[in-house]
Structure 1
Amino acid sequence: MRTIFRFITGIIKFVVCLIFIICLIGAGMAAYAFYIAPDRLTTEDINVESSLVSRDIDIAVIADTHFGAGFEAEDFDKVIDEINAEDVDIVLFLGDLIDDYNRYTIDDFSKGTGDPAVISEKLSEINASLGKFAVFGNHDYGGGAENHYEDIMNAGGFTVLKNESYVLPGTGLRLIGIDDLLLGYGSVSISESATSNMYDLILCHEPDIYDKLTGDDIDFMFAGHTHGGQINIPYLRDEFLPSLGSKYLKGEYSDGISTLYVNPGLGTTKIKARLFAEPEITYLHIKSI
């Protein structure tokens, strides 16, 4: 009888300890997700070689700032400093600049009413010798942003590509910008402008259109939109994965012909938390061979 009692007591102690450890781990993960991860800034370097470019080209890629209560203008300063320290040739922004334009310009945040002109000023501080380019995201159409986003980006020195291509003179590089496909006027047919005699790089907000691109001459594609899952835990992340952003989550994918890279973005939406999906600046280094 005493042996059975000890056995049962041991099991109870084990279960209690296990529950305590699980709760401790859960609390630690929650603290990291809410108070540490959203304020981190990581970088990822991708190196490719191509005979199609006439010179080495360094490109910085950012996405999904979602300016608002969870990501204010001063939070962008470290992004500016990081990119400028790398002395890149081109900067690409993949959409979702302001989380909710109407709310941002009306509601009071910690430092007062959100001012899009301040965002433009911050964007203008980013240096890129060959130019800065952007596409629309779904949040750049929703929330009253459609008639303002392009002006904000232009004031910050960015050229917004809407289903159009842009050849950078003397480089052999062509940028192909696809407009947002959820709330905008995106058309994958612009990908047909890719040719075999230039390095063709597509920028688009939603990654899952990668499967719909036409032609065999696309070399690289960048997308954002997913936040890398934001809360990147199975089942929980499904609450954060948006339409056209559930197949390609984050990182690099290839079909053997072209490569897709999904940038996990800088800001957050719904809640200011990230887990296993830290904010990132992606650098693409194209070496001429």
Structure 2
Amino acid sequence: LEPRWVEINNVQIKINLLPKRFEGMTIAQLSDIHHSKYVPREFVRRCVRKVNALCPDIVVLTGDYVCRSRAFLLPVAEELSELKAKEGVFAVLGNHDNKDNTFHALSKAGIRVLINEHVPLYRKNDYLFLAGVDDLWSGDVDLRRTLKGTDDKPRLLLAHNPDTIELGGAADVAFVMAGHTHGGQVSVPFYGPPVVYSRFGYTAGLFRKGNTTLYVNKGIGISGLPVRFLVRPEITMFTLRSKKIEDVLHEKCRC
């Protein structure tokens, strides 16, 4: 009932030891597009325009660009090539994505695909790391390899599946951006989503595990039943903020 009613969620993320030049950095997230006959090209184009209107510093894409059919891959890549971001567009792959075909299509569209690797993001002499892992279900996640060579600067991680946060090595990450669950896609009043594709209950929104913040985007597409109910498609706009000393003290007191 709500497959085209997109909501834009603005979320502030507090990062410990965030370099000063990255204060206020904005990151727009699109996830789970699932371009198909039920998620038409015009809708994808409209979502791309919505993202561009936000004028983000970075755009991140967290997997599942089609519903397995290769016929929709080039069209969705062409639409995503229109994404505009001052400091780049980055992506990881999901369980519906053929690794080789999707990697080449997105790369040709000017999108940097991260598969168990990281890139430094520089602002003059300041920097942090943006990393991306393979899919937890269909790929070969290697967090050790992904983070190898990073230092004590903040690490941001793209992962299609939010359960990636439960793997060893995730504790070294400040902020994880994920998708996969569609927020359940259907939510029953007074009950919630009957089905959630997360073993640990990471349905949608913000979570905290140790020193790591996780955000699970509800995606803009659909799979399985061509419907959303009480789970609107989502574009997320993150703003990075430095975690102040008083924030850390408050967390310790709360524990």
Residues 63-96 of structure 1 deviation map (CA, whole Å, 9 limit, x = unaligned): 1000111111111122112111111111110000
1:187 matched residue in structure 2: 142
Aligned residues: 236
Question: What is the aligned counterpart of 2:69 among 89, 101, 106?
Answer: 101
Partner of 1:111: none
Partner of 2:54: 86
1:201 is displaced (CA, Å) by 0.6
Task: Note closer, same or farther for the CA distance 1:224–1:255 as it changes in structure 2 (3 Å cut).
Answer: same
* One-letter code aligned to 1:96: D
Q: Which amino acid aligns with 1:174?
A: F
| Partner in structure 1 of residue 3 of structure 2 | 38
CA contact (8 A) 1:252 1:260 kept: yes
Q: Does 1:286 align with 2:237?
A: no
Say yes or no: does 1:126 pair with 2:80. Answer: no
CA distance in 2, matches of 1:146, 1:255: 29
Q: Structure 1 CA distance, aligned partners of 2:14 and 2:96?
A: 34
Change (3 A) 1:235 1:46: closer
Please, which runs of 5 or more residues in structure 2 have no aligned partner? 244-255
Q: TM-score, normalised by structure 2?
A: 0.84
Residue 144 of structure 2 corresponds to residue 176 of structure 1: no
Deviates more, 1:151-160 or 1:188-197: 188-197
CA contact (8 A) 1:167 1:175 kept: yes
Partner secondary structure for residue 148 of structure 1: helix
Letter in 2 for 1:258: T
C-alpha contact 1:134 1:161 (8 A) present in aligned 2: yes
Contact 2:132–2:158 at 8 Å: present in 1 too? yes
Q: What secondary structure sits across from 1:259 in the alignment?
A: strand
CA contact (8 A) 1:63 1:96 kept: yes
Question: Percent of pairs identical after alignment?
Answer: 31
2:218 paired residue among 264, 283, 287: 264
Question: Are 1:224 and 1:263, in contact at CA under 8 Å, matched by a contact in 2?
Answer: yes
Distance (Å, rounded) in 2 between the aligned partners of 1:38 and 1:213: 36
In structure 1, C-alpha distance between the alignment counterparts of 2:117 and 2:65, rounded to whole Å: 20
SS at match of 2:214: strand
Conserved in 2, the CA contact under 8 Å of 1:207 and 1:225?
yes
Cα offset, 1:275, TM superposition: 1.4
Tell me the distance in 2 between the aligned counterparts of 1:48 and 1:223. Answer: 14
Q: What SS does structure 2 have at the residue aligned with 1:172?
A: strand
Q: Partner residue of 1:74?
A: 42
Cα distance in 2 for residues equivalent to 1:75 and 1:219 = 33
Q: Which amino acid aligns with 1:95?
A: G
Match of 2:103 in 1: 150
Listed as ranges, the matches of 1:126-275 within 5 Å are 126-140=83-97, 145-170=98-123, 171-190=126-145, 192-193=147-148, 197-214=152-169, 216-233=171-188, 234=191, 237-238=194-195, 241-242=196-197, 244=198, 247-275=201-229
Give the alignment partner of residue 52 of structure 1, picking from 6, 12, 18. 18
Task: Tell me how far 1:153 sits from its aligned partner.
Answer: 0.9
2: CA distance between counterparts of 1:212 and 1:120?
A: 30
How far the C-alpha of 1:263 sits from its partner, in A, is 0.3
Distance of 1:154 and 1:174 partners within structure 2: 20
CA RMSD in angstroms comes to 2.2
Calculate the TM-score normalised by the size of structure 1: 0.75
Q: 1:216 to 1:64 in 2, by over 3 A?
A: closer
Per-residue CA shift, 1:33-90, capped at 9, x if unaligned?
Answer: 2xxx101110111113444222331100111000111111111122112111111111
Q: Which runs of 5+ in 1 are unaligned?
A: 1-32, 106-113
Instruction: Confirm or deny: 8 A CA contact 1:201 1:218 kept in the other structure.
Output: yes
- Asked whether the equivalents of residues 18 and 241 of structure 2 are also in contact (C-alpha less than 8 Å), the reply is no
Aligned-residue offset at 1:213: 3.9
Q: Quick one: distance in 2 between partners of 1:246 and 1:273?
A: 24
Amino acid at match of 1:182: W
Are the aligned partners of 1:166 and 1:175 in contact in 2 as well (CA < 8 Å)? yes
Pair 1:245–1:175, CA change in 2 (3 A): farther
**Which structure shows the higher helix fraction?**
1
Choose 164-173 or 46-55, whichever is displaced more. Answer: 46-55
What displacement does 1:126 show? 0.8
Structure whose CA Rg is larger:
1
